[in-house]
Amino acid sequence: MSRNHADVIIIGGGIIGCAIAYDLAKRNVKSLVIDKASAVGTEASWAGAGILTSHASTHEPYPTLCRASLALYPTLAEELRAETQIDIELIQSGTLSVFFDSTEAAGLIGLADRRVKRGFSAEVLTAEQAWQLEPELSKSIAGGVLFPEDAQVRNPKMVTALAKAAAKLGAKFQVGNPVTDFIRVREGGEEHVVGVVVNGETYYADTFIIAAGCWTGTLTAQLDVPIYVEPAKGQIVLVETMPPLFERTIDGLGIYIVPRADGKVLLGATVEFVGYDKTATVDGAKQLIDAGIAIAPELAQSTFVQTWVGLRPYAKKGPLLGYLPGYDNVVLASGHFKNGILLAPITGQLIAELITTGQPSLPLEPFQPTGV
Ligand SMILES: Cc1cc2nc3c(=O)[nH]c(=O)nc-3n(C[C@H](O)[C@H](O)[C@H](O)COP(=O)(O)OP(=O)(O)OC[C@H]3O[C@@H](n4cnc5c(N)ncnc54)[C@H](O)[C@@H]3O)c2cc1C
């Protein structure tokens, strides 16, 4: 790879771009990751809660993709630890979903039944059984369902580890300036991109991957293909409790509570379609704190640490994985919405397979980007 030429240029160094760079590097394909921020992984991939959840039990393409990605995690965590000495804090603690009334109970128990019938695990618990597992749960809960396979990971550490491992295997990183333009030629009726412009300088490659999260549409618009990936704002509140309140992720009343290995507890997350606004609001924090205290009253005594906001990449039929319509060397990997951390390992693998062999190990047709 010369200074201004790579086999593959990846636009966007979030968890998706870095996972692809790592999987390409393992296949000896040299990539250049370009990110507009001053470091990789500072946007949604930093802000995410890191829950790896795979509740849906059907064999539809999306749940299949989620389960395939979850299954890659233990090996990936070991690989990253060996390559980078970074522990991504993969913990398979499970999720306990609590319900407060018969309507909520019906939905969750139905989900648990369907899972068990299809050979996946889920355990319906009485309120007493739930309190035995998690004594700090409110005395108002009516019961719960345990999903023991769910896990959590420390996503900021994971992006750093993926980037560091990819760099060790030859990937390059260029941060601090956005891709502002594409250099294109038309060959045999198909458009072909030959380069991208960053801060007035052109970088060339054989293949280009757009993994720019909720900014993906701005880039495809420059290629005359309208792809809608909208920002879905998510606010999180971080508190600290000592001793730790919970052993596992708790979810209920539209929020989740994630206990971290360091004693911090994360309350998340709002879902707001308000454009590229990253303001943390009192109302957002209040919703999360009120629901958190209703689930576990002792949370009212915890130390408030901070709030933050991230912009999830939402696509109506996401994720979008495959060639951009009309282009034979531009690939999209975006629109992972609420599950981008979960889906990063399988996305890295499938996109690397698509580029190197043309034969991804899971069909990408259901996720094929289409212009709108
Ligand atoms: C509050 C919240 C909670 C979440 N919780 C979870 C969870 O528990 N589990 C889960 O699986 N997922 C979760 N997610 C979703 C997950 O974080 C995202 O789906 C995932 O991070 C998307 O990764 P990405 O790499 O596509 O996008 P991003 O991380 O946003 O990365 C895109 C990158 O592209 C760069 N970029 C954009 N435009 C340009 C340009 N023109 N030139 C160069 N670079 C550019 C940006 O700087 C950015 O670094 C959560 C998200 C939020 C916000």
Convert the pLDDT of each residue in 92-136 to its tens digit.
999 999 999 999 999 999 999 998 988 889 999 999 999 999 999
HSE, CB side, 13 Å, CA atoms: give it for residue 357.
10
Number of domains in the chain: 3
- Mean pLDDT across the chain: 95
Condensed to tens digits (0 to 9), the pLDDT of residues 4-45 reads 899 999 999 999 999 999 999 999 999 999 999 999 999 999
pTM above 0.85, yes or no: yes
Residues 26 and 55 in one domain: yes
Distance 258 CA to ligand 1 centre (A): 19
Residues 127 and 188 in one domain: no
At 132, the amino acid letter reads Q
Please name which of 315, 154, 308 lies closest in space to residue 232, comparing C-alpha atoms. Answer: 315
Residues 139 and 56 in one domain: no
Residues 353 and 283 in one domain: no
Domain harbouring 178, CATH code? 3.50.50.60
Identify the residue whose C-alpha is closest to ligand 1 atom 4. Answer: 48
Residues 170 and 241 in one domain: no
Final residue of a structural domain among 285, 313, 341: 313
Distance 33 CA to ligand 1 centre (A): 15
Asked if residue 334 has its Cβ within 6 Å of ligand 1, the reply is: yes
Distance 242 CA to ligand 1 centre (A): 31
> What does the CA dihedral 125, 128, 132, 137 come to, rounded to 10 degrees?
90
Whole-angstrom Cα distance, residue 215 to residue 279?
Answer: 18
Asked if residue 315 has its Cβ within 6 Å of ligand 1, the reply is: no
Residues 262 and 220 in one domain: no
Distance 340 CA to ligand 1 centre (A): 7
**Which residues have C-beta within 8 Å of that of residue 179, sequence separation ≥ 6?**
11, 34, 36, 196, 197, 198, 219
pLDDT of residue 335: 98
Domain harbouring 304, CATH code? 3.30.9.10
Condensed to tens digits (0 to 9), the pLDDT of residues 248-297 reads 999 999 999 999 988 899 999 999 999 999 999 999 999 999 999 999 99
Whole-angstrom Cα distance, residue 213 to residue 233?
Answer: 12
Residues 18 and 54 in one domain: yes
Condensed to tens digits (0 to 9), the pLDDT of residues 166-181 reads 999 999 999 999 999 9
Average pLDDT for 338-346: 98
Residues 161 and 77 in one domain: yes
Using alpha carbons, list the distances in angstroms from residue 275 to 128, 166, 199, 211, 215.
Answer: 43, 32, 26, 19, 11
Residues 177 and 225 in one domain: yes
CB-CB contact of 136 with 66 (8 Å): no
Relative to beta strand 201-210, strand 330-334 is parallel
CB-CB contact of 12 with 212 (8 Å): yes
**Domain extent for 133:** 95-148
Counting residues of the chain whose pLDDT is more than 90, the rounded percentage is 90
Pocket test for ligand 1, best of 338, 339, 342, 343 (most atoms within 8 A of CB): 338
Condensed to tens digits (0 to 9), the pLDDT of residues 299-309 reads 999 999 999 99
In a domain, 169, yes or no: yes
In a domain, 372, yes or no: no
Condensed to tens digits (0 to 9), the pLDDT of residues 127-142 reads 999 999 999 999 999 9
In a domain, 307, yes or no: yes
Residues 44 and 123 in one domain: no
